[in-house]
């Protein structure tokens, strides 16, 4: 594990390990996001990004447009205003 991400016993405590790599941690964190009104959009965004990663190449452009309009556009259905401009910028190249 990277330095600074362990506690006594060498257990990895990074966010990625606890909330992404570990199935139960991922499930619990997703339920937390979905159950808190202020974080529900973040939970929905996470689900949609995972779906995007699984979609066929031919569907990616349309899926990306839906993601941008729903989550990254001010006034969108579930705008995630906490994301930085860099995170929400359309890809270049």
Q: Which fold has domain 15-88?
A: Regulator of G-protein Signalling 4; domain 2 (1.10.167)
What average pLDDT does the chain have? Answer: 86
pLDDT digits (tens, 9 = 90+) for 27-45: 999 999 999 999 999 999 9
Domain ranges of the chain: 15-88
Residue 49: per-residue pLDDT:
93
Residue 7: per-residue pLDDT:
52
Residue 41, Cβ neighbours under 10 Å: how many? 19
Find residue 6's DSSP bridge partners: 12
pLDDT digits (tens, 9 = 90+) for 4-19: 555 556 777 899 999 9
Residue 72, Cβ neighbours under 10 Å: how many? 20
Percent of the residues in the chain that have a pLDDT greater than 70, as a whole number: 88
């Amino acid at each position: 594990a990277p330095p600074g991400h362990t506690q006594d016993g060498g257990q990895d405590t990074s966010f990625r390990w606890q909330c992404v790599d570990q199935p139960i941690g991922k499930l619990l964190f997703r339920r937390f996001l979905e159950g808190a009104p202020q974080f529900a959009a973040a939970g929905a965004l996470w689900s949609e990004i995972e779906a995007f990663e699984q979609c066929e190449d031919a569907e990616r452009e349309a899926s990306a447009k839906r993601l941008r309009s729903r989550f990254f556009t001010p006034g969108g259905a579930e705008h995630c205003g906490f994301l930085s401009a860099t995170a929400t910028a359309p890809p270049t190249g």
